């Protein structure tokens, strides 16, 4: 693997909470344009890995480099500006803002609108178009003026991914997208994620428990167990691993 | 005193309380900490003005000096509380704020003494309109209240800064993932809070005497308003501010007590009223309309 | 000699009260700020009852009854409000109580207060009173030590760590919290009564926010739930202002300087030891 081509590279990452080692010496390299899945049993450190990359978890040891640049000293908002986008397990949208405001808050930063933009007709029209198109894409146009807090879990997830479309970045970290989403909406979700990768060119790391959903989407999967990398490879290869079945489906121990 | 005069007085007082409750609300929104030093901070700014005026500085210099002091106090508060905010420790943060307020009060007592001072010599000009009288600071307070309300409504709902404020209040990690720097939003909030508190400190002490201990009752009253109004609703804070001022004013005026006794009764009435309302609605009168998880 | 006995008395009063603050703040993690209220309420209730002619025992009964009512109101607030709101609410109660004292001046003497309070016969001299108070202080420490070893004490410490875990183990955190508040209120009341026997003059400045700062600072310095830390912390805080005597400052400033120093210590302590006060939480 040519290290120069990795969009993001983690070397010997360790994260500790109090006395507990949550991530233990994890190394991973991901090339631009890849979709990589991150799986493993609960508590194995998947979300923590995403947190480490986006800057919410301090590293005990190890380095992270993004687009050839060392990012460990950057705050989360600085990493976002650099191009690392994130969706969260439990929170995806601002419930106190309206649906359209949720899009606007992402867009005005991403499109670098000047602070006085709402006084200019030209910018207002541009933003209107962005909001309308984005909401239409995920079927939430009817809720444009409502507070995001009234949306159901699945709709929140869609809104969140819609907002990520506008993100002018290179990497997306998506945390358990199907959690709390009805099976019917999952197809839409998968479509949106594929679009983010293929049309918008994002490199994506997805944490997921729904293996069927995940293996359809990813080029490669990495399995974490107890904070360490267990195996990684193409979905077809990994699925054959006996211990993986045990981890996910349990044995009669 | 007749009805309309009482109403007018209550509106002025209510606006004063509101002008302190709003910064308390904003700081709580972005840090989840009750900034208990806000009252003392406002009074400290008033003393700064007093110092400038009694040293015979020209009025505009004095005012600028007071503004600078207010901003510095905002900065100090931000620095003191920043580490608690980052660690999401609201209770220690609140105690730090309380301690800072006491420090300010003690400094004021040591430097200026505890005897009452007046910011202006002589009686304040009064404007009369038929049987209604209102002092000039009273008018300024009302005007400031209206202007502020409009500014905030526009600011919070329609501008990028307002959106950033709301997003950081709700979820600062999510906001950071969008590239929004929570610490700048917080710094800005603390400075605005310091300025507003300074304004209230000066307006309050123009009407009554300037003493070092005047800050604490102000901030506690503002806190009660916040609690009653509901911690997540600016609209609730506005309504609570006027309700909790009007009711005691009317009770006192119509019960025939003389004025100086009235002030003590006021705090007690407000407290009892607040306790009763909280028994009925522990989360305040207005809660946000979002679907809960 | 009188000076030393006064210090002994001051130490004992602070120790008794701080045990209550320690139990609620340091051990259970409940930031209950109503201690000055019951401190002052007990004193006022007792003195006023005696002025109405009640004998000492009856007056003490009235005082403790009043404190019981107050502590139940605090418990009600504790059960209904969130932790932060409860804390500021109890802070507000200090102001409200002060307002009540000044309003009901027919009964309480208002701002001027009540003078010439007599000591009961068995502690008529300062020496006897100081030793009596010291005995009570030792008793207070002993009681806390015992509580910490019982199920209640363990539940209090567990509650500070993780309220929900405690509930899931079948312990009612509400009852534990209520117990801490009630114990704290009563202990403060006892301190108030013996303190007024020493000072013999009662006015609204008795107790108040300055008392709160003193007591909370002690409780926070003694952040670990161990009684010997509490004793040391009390000693330090009580003796500190005595050092100011040697500086020959004008008397108007000394009181405020003392408050400044206490508040400053409180600030520094909280900034540095907050990890011991609040357990580590994992967020996101």
DSSP string covering C103-117: H-HHHH-GGG-B--P
Q: Which of these, B156, B159, B164, B135, lies nearest to B238 by C-alpha position?
A: B156
Lowest-confidence segment of B119-133, B183-197, C256-270 by average pLDDT: B119-133
Q: Which of these, C158, C87, C221, lies nearest to B91 by C-alpha position?
A: C87
Any long-range contacts for A48-51 (C-beta under 8 Å, 24+ apart)?
A: A48/A15, A48/A22, A48/A23, A49/A10, A49/A13, A49/A23, A49/A207, A49/A224, A50/A86, A50/A173, A50/A175, A50/A205, A50/A207, A51/A15, A51/C284
Are B224 and C92 an interchain contact pair (Cβ–Cβ within 8 Å)? yes
Answer for the pair C227, C30: CB distance below 8 angstroms, yes or no: no
pLDDT at position B263 is: 65
| pLDDT over threshold 50, residue B218 | yes
**Interface residues of chain B, partner chain A, Cβ below 8 Å:** 158-161, 163-164, 166-167, 169-171, 173-182, 232, 288-291
In chain C, which residues have their Cβ closer than 8 Å to the Cβ of A89?
284
Q: Which residues of A181-198 are buried (b: 16+ CB within 10 A; e: fewer)?
A: beeebbebbbebbeebbe
pLDDT at position C70 is: 94
In chain C, which residues have their Cβ closer than 8 Å to the Cβ of B244?
none
Q: Which of B261, B275, B282 sits opposite C103 (nearest CB)?
A: B261
Structure confidence at residue B258 as a pLDDT band (50, 70, 90):
low
**Residue C67, Cα to own-chain centre: how many angstroms?**
13
Neighbours of B132 (CB within 10 A): 13
| pLDDT over threshold 70, residue B161 | yes
Tens of pLDDT, residues B92-131 = 888 899 999 999 999 999 999 888 888 777 677 788 877 7
Cα nearest neighbour of A147 on chain B: B290
- The token pair at A15 is 């994260």
Rounded Cα distance between B81 and C160, Å, is 22
The mean per-residue pLDDT over the stretch A54-71 comes to 89
Look up residue C32 and give its DSSP letter: -
Are C284 and A88 an interchain contact pair (Cβ–Cβ within 8 Å)? yes
Tens of pLDDT, residues A186-203 = 888 888 899 889 988 899
Strand, coil or helix: what is B116? coil
Q: Domain map of chain A by residue range?
A: 12-93+152-249, 95-150
Strand, coil or helix: what is B126? strand
Rounded Cα distance between C36 and C24, Å, is 14
Structure confidence at residue C282 as a pLDDT band (50, 70, 90):
very low
| pLDDT over threshold 80, residue B227 | yes
| pLDDT over threshold 70, residue C280 | no
Look up residue A98 and give its DSSP letter: B
pTM of the entire predicted model:
0.82
Rounded Cα distance between C15 and B263, Å, is 35
Phi first, then psi, for residue A204 (nearest 5°) are -130, 135
Residue A56, chain C, CB below 8 Å: the answer is yes
Chains contacting C (3 or more CB pairs within 8 Å) = A, B
Lowest-confidence segment of B227-236, C61-70, C130-139 by average pLDDT: B227-236
Rounded Cα distance between A114 and A119, Å, is 10
Phi first, then psi, for residue A29 (nearest 5°) are -130, 135
pLDDT at position B21 is: 92
The mean per-residue pLDDT over the stretch C253-270 comes to 86
Show Cβ contacts of residue B151 under 8 Å, excluding neighbours closer than 6 positions.
none
Residue A91, chain B, CB below 8 Å: the answer is yes
Structure confidence at residue B292 as a pLDDT band (50, 70, 90):
very low
Which of A208-212, B77-81, C162-166, C236-240 is predicted most confidently? B77-81
The mean per-residue pLDDT over the stretch A56-67 comes to 89
pLDDT at position B293 is: 34
Select the more confidently predicted residue: A163 or B40. B40
Answer for the pair C35, C212: CB distance below 8 angstroms, yes or no: yes
Q: How far is CA C218 from each of CA A102, A146, B203, C243, C257, rounded to the nearest angstrom?
A: 47, 51, 37, 17, 17
Q: Which of these, A173, A9, A110, B292, lies nearest to C284 by C-alpha position?
A: A173
| pLDDT over threshold 50, residue C46 | yes
Answer for the pair A181, A156: CB distance below 8 angstroms, yes or no: no
Lowest-confidence segment of A74-88, B77-91, C165-179 by average pLDDT: C165-179
pLDDT at position A232 is: 87
pLDDT at position B256 is: 63
The mean per-residue pLDDT over the stretch A158-169 comes to 83
Structure confidence at residue C283 as a pLDDT band (50, 70, 90):
very low
Tens of pLDDT, residues C184-216 = 999 999 999 999 998 888 888 888 888 888 888
| pLDDT over threshold 90, residue B195 | yes
- The token pair at C234 is 């009390």
The mean per-residue pLDDT over the stretch C100-124 comes to 82
Neighbours of B126 (CB within 10 A): 11
Phi first, then psi, for residue B4 (nearest 5°) are -65, -35
Mind giving me the DSSP string for B168-231? HHH-HHHHHHTT--HHHHHHHHHHHHHHHHHHHHHHHHHHS-B-GGGHHHHHHHHHHHHHHH-T
Q: How far is CA B77 from each of CA B72, B95, B97, rounded to the nearest angstrom?
A: 9, 12, 8
Interface test with B, best of C75, C94, C99, C262 (most B CBs within 10 A): C99
ipTM of the complex: 0.86
Rounded Cα distance between A44 and A40, Å, is 6
pLDDT at position B197 is: 94
Q: How far is CA B261 from each of CA A168, B1, B267, C110, rounded to the nearest angstrom?
A: 64, 16, 11, 10
| pLDDT over threshold 60, residue C89 | yes
Neighbours of A212 (CB within 10 A): 9
| pLDDT over threshold 90, residue B281 | no
Specify burial of residue C6 (Cβ count, 10 A radius: 0-12, 13-18, 19+): middle
Q: How far is CA B252 from each of CA A127, A157, B16, B223, B258, rounded to the nearest angstrom?
A: 54, 54, 19, 22, 9
Are A149 and B290 an interchain contact pair (Cβ–Cβ within 8 Å)? yes
Q: What percent of chain A has pLDDT over 70?
A: 95
Tens of pLDDT, residues A109-126 = 888 888 778 778 888 899
| pLDDT over threshold 70, residue C31 | yes
Q: Please give the interface size between B and C, counted as residue pairs whose CB atoms are below 8 Å apart.
A: 124
| pLDDT over threshold 90, residue C120 | no
Are A96 and B232 an interchain contact pair (Cβ–Cβ within 8 Å)? yes
3-state helix, strand, coil in chain B (%, to 5): 75, 5, 20
Phi first, then psi, for residue C34 (nearest 5°) are -90, 10
Are A17 and C284 an interchain contact pair (Cβ–Cβ within 8 Å)? no
In chain A, which residues have their Cβ closer than 8 Å to the Cβ of B172?
none
| pLDDT over threshold 50, residue B270 | yes
Specify burial of residue A45 (Cβ count, 10 A radius: 0-12, 13-18, 19+): buried
| pLDDT over threshold 80, residue C145 | yes
Q: Please give the interface size between A and C, counted as residue pairs whose CB atoms are below 8 Å apart.
A: 8
Query: In the predicted model, what is the mean pLDDT of chain B?
Result: 85
Structure confidence at residue C278 as a pLDDT band (50, 70, 90):
low
**The domain A12-93+152-249: what is its CATH number?**
3.40.50.300
Neighbours of A75 (CB within 10 A): 14
Q: Is C190 left (phi over 0), alpha (psi -120 to 50) or beta?
A: alpha
Structure confidence at residue C284 as a pLDDT band (50, 70, 90):
very low
Structure confidence at residue B276 as a pLDDT band (50, 70, 90):
confident
Cα nearest neighbour of A174 on chain B: B177
With the C-alpha atoms ordered B111, B116, B121, B124, is the resulting torsion angle positive or negative?
positive
Q: Which of these, A190, A104, B107, lies nearest to C259 by C-alpha position?
A: B107
Instruction: Count CA atoms closer than 13 A to A158's CA, side-chain side.
Output: 24
3-state helix, strand, coil in chain A (%, to 5): 40, 25, 30
Phi first, then psi, for residue A222 (nearest 5°) are -120, 130
The mean per-residue pLDDT over the stretch B75-95 comes to 87
Instruction: Count CA atoms closer than 13 A to A219's CA, side-chain side.
Output: 13
Beta bridge partners of B212: none
Look up residue A111 and give its DSSP letter: T
Show Cβ contacts of residue B166 under 8 Å, excluding neighbours closer than 6 positions.
A94, A96, A97, B29, B156
The mean per-residue pLDDT over the stretch C170-176 comes to 81
In chain A, which residues have their Cβ closer than 8 Å to the Cβ of C284?
47, 51, 56, 88-89
- The token pair at C280 is 């580590």
- The token pair at A112 is 């670098």
Rounded Cα distance between B24 and B223, Å, is 7
Query: In the predicted model, what is the mean pLDDT of chain C?
Result: 85
Residue A124, chain B, CB below 8 Å: the answer is no
Phi first, then psi, for residue B170 (nearest 5°) are -80, -45
The mean per-residue pLDDT over the stretch A205-226 comes to 88
Are C95 and B105 an interchain contact pair (Cβ–Cβ within 8 Å)? no
| pLDDT over threshold 60, residue C281 | no
Q: How far is CA C202 from each of CA B105, C42, C241, rounded to the nearest angstrom?
A: 24, 11, 22
């Amino acid at each position: 693997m040519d290290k120069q081509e990795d969009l993001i590279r983690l070397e010997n990452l360790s994260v500790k909470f109090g006395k507990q080692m949550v991530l233990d010496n994890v190394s991973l390299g991901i090339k631009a344009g890849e979709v990589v899945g991150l799986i493993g049993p609960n508590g194995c450190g998947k979300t923590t890995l995403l947190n480490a990359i986006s800057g919410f978890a301090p590293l005990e040891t190890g380095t992270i480099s993004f687009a050839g640049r060392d990012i460990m000293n950057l705050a989360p908002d600085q990493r976002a500006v650099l191009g690392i986008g994130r969706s969260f397990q439990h929170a995806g949208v601002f419930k106190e803002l309206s649906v359209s405001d949720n899009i606007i808050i992402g867009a005005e930063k991403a499109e670098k609108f000047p602070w006085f933009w709402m006084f200019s007709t030209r910018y207002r029209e541009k933003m209107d178009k962005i909001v309308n198109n984005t909401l239409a894409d995920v079927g939430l146009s009817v809720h444009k003026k409502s507070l995001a807090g009234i949306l159901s879990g699945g709709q929140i997830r869609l809104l969140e991914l819609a907002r990520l479309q506008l993100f002018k970045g290179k990497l997306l970290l998506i945390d358990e997208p199907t959690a709390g989403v009805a099976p019917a909406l999952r197809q839409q979700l998968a479509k949106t994620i594929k679009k983010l990768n293929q049309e918008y060119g994002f490199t994506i790391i997805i944490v997921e428990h729904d293996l069927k959903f995940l293996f359809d989407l990813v080029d490669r999967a990495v399995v974490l167990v107890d904070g360490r990398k267990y195996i990684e490879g193409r979905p077809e290869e990994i699925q054959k691993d006996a211990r993986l079945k045990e981890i996910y489906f349990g044995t009669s121990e | 005193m007749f009805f309309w005069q009482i109403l007018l007085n209550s509106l002025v007082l209510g606006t004063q309380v509101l002008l302190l409750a709003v910064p308390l609300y904003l700081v709580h929104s972005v840090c989840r900490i009750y900034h208990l030093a806000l009252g003392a901070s406002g009074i400290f700014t008033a003393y700064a003005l007093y110092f400038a005026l009694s040293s015979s500085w020209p009025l505009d210099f004095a005012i600028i000096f007071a503004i600078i002091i207010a901003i510095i106090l905002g900065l100090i508060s931000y620095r003191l509380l920043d580490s608690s905010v980052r660690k999401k420790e609201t209770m220690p943060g609140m105690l730090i704020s309380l301690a800072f307020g006491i420090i300010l009060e003690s400094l004021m007592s040591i430097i200026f003494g505890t005897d009452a001072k007046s910011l202006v010599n002589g009686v304040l000009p009064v404007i009369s309109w038929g049987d209604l009288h209102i002092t000039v600071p009273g008018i300024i307070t009302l005007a400031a209240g209206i202007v502020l309300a409009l500014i905030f409504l526009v600011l919070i709902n329609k501008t990028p800064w307002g959106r950033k404020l709301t997003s950081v209040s709700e979820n600062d990690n999510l906001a950071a993932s969008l590239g929004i720097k929570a610490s700048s939003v917080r710094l800005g909030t603390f400075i605005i809070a310091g300025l507003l508190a300074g304004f209230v400190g000066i307006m309050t002490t123009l009407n009554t005497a300037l003493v070092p201990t005047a800050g604490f009752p102000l901030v506690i009253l503002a806190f009660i308003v916040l609690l009653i109004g509901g911690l997540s609703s600016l609209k609730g804070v506005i309504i609570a501010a006027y309700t909790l001022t009007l009711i005691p004013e009317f009770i006192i005026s119509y019960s025939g007590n003389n004025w100086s006794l009235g002030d003590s009764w006021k705090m007690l009435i407000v407290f009892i009223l607040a306790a009763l309302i909280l028994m009925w609605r522990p989360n305040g009168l207005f809660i946000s309309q979002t679907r809960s998880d | 000699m009188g000076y030393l006995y006064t210090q002994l008395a001051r130490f004992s009063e602070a120790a008794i009260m701080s045990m209550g603050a320690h139990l609620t703040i340091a051990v259970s993690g409940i930031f209950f700020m109503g201690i000055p209220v019951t401190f002052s309420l007990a004193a006022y209730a007792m003195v006023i009852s005696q002025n109405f002619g009640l004998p000492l025992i009856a007056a003490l009964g009235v005082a403790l009854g009043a404190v019981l009512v107050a502590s139940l109101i605090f418990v009600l607030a504790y059960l209904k409000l969130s932790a932060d709101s409860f804390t500021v609410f109890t802070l507000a109660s200090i102001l409200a109580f002060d307002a009540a004292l000044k309003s009901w001046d027919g009964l309480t003497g208002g701002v001027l207060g009540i003078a010439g309070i007599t000591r009961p016969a068995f502690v008529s001299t300062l020496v006897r009173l100081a030793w009596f108070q010291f005995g009570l202080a030792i008793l207070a420490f002993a009681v806390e030590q015992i509580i910490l070893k019982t199920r209640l004490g363990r539940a209090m410490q567990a509650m500070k760590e993780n309220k929900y875990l405690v509930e899931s183990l079948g312990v009612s955190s509400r009852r534990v919290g209520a117990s801490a508040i009630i114990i704290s209120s009563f202990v403060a009341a006892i301190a108030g009564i013996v303190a007024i026997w020493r000072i013999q003059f009662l006015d609204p400045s008795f107790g108040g926010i300055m008392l709160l700062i003193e007591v909370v600072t002690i409780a926070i310095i003694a952040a670990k739930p161990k009684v010997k830390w509490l004793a040391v912390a009390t000693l330090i805080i009580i003796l500190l202002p005595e050092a100011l005597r040697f500086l020959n400052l004008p008397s108007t400033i000394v009181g405020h300087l003392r408050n400044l120093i206490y508040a400053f210590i409180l600030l520094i302590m909280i900034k540095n030891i907050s990890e011991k006060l609040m357990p580590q939480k994992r967020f996101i």
